[in-house]
Structure formats: structure tokens, C-alpha cells
Amino acid sequence: MARGKVISGGRSHIKKDDFVQVIAGRDRDKRGKVLRVFPDDGRIMVEGIQMIKRHTRATQQRQQAGIIEREGKIHISNVMLICAKCDRGVRVGHRVLEDGKKVRVCRRCAEVLDR
């Protein structure tokens, strides 16, 4: 195992296209849509959060060289899922519906979070 790297390899309470709120770091209290989930690293990419600058050179695919700003990865533990009803970051629980489908629910208002 690599030293200092946490390998979760498990499932997360955050999925692609969820709206989340950052609860720690320089982008605290900002909200955004999840662009990508990296379950092996336990990290996610959120739209407009953790912006980093990449210095790139011109290639066949990218004719223009320069500084490109894009989203970086943040740890899953630094975000909370936003409940549409509560309009705030909430803890997530799970419930099995009558038809046997397992869904995520808001722990504050018991609203089903999965569309």
C-alpha cells in the first residue's frame, strides 16, 4: 500500500450530478455540481471549486499554449449533499422503498434525495 494514501475503494454517499456544499477548506460554504467521482481516491471534482492553474504547451490537440484554469479534486469528507427541501448541506441516510429500491434520504427532513 502506498504510504500516506488512503484507498477506500468503497461506495460513497455522493454521486455524479449531485449538488453539494463545501464544508472545509478555502472554498468553504460554496456550492456546486459534482462533475466526476473518484471512488478509489475518495475524491470528487466539483464545478467551480478548488480551481487550479495548469501551464500547458501547444500540442496537436491544443494549438494554444498558456495557463488553463480548471477544477481540482477535493476529498469527499469535505462536502455535504444539499437537500432540495431543506436547502442546506445535510447528512445522508438510506431507506428501502416498497418496490425494493434503495434510495438516499435526508436525515433532517426524511425527504428522498434520489430523483
The pLDDT tens digits for 28-48 are 999 999 999 999 989 999 999
The pLDDT value recorded for residue 1 is 47
The domain 19-84 is placed in CATH, from the list 3.40.1000, 1.10.3110, 2.30.30, 3.30.160, at 2.30.30
**For residue 80, pLDDT beyond 90:** yes
Domain boundaries, the chain: 19-84
Give this prediction's pTM: 0.80
User: How big is the CA angle at 8 (ends 13 and 5), to the nearest 5 degrees?
Assistant: 130
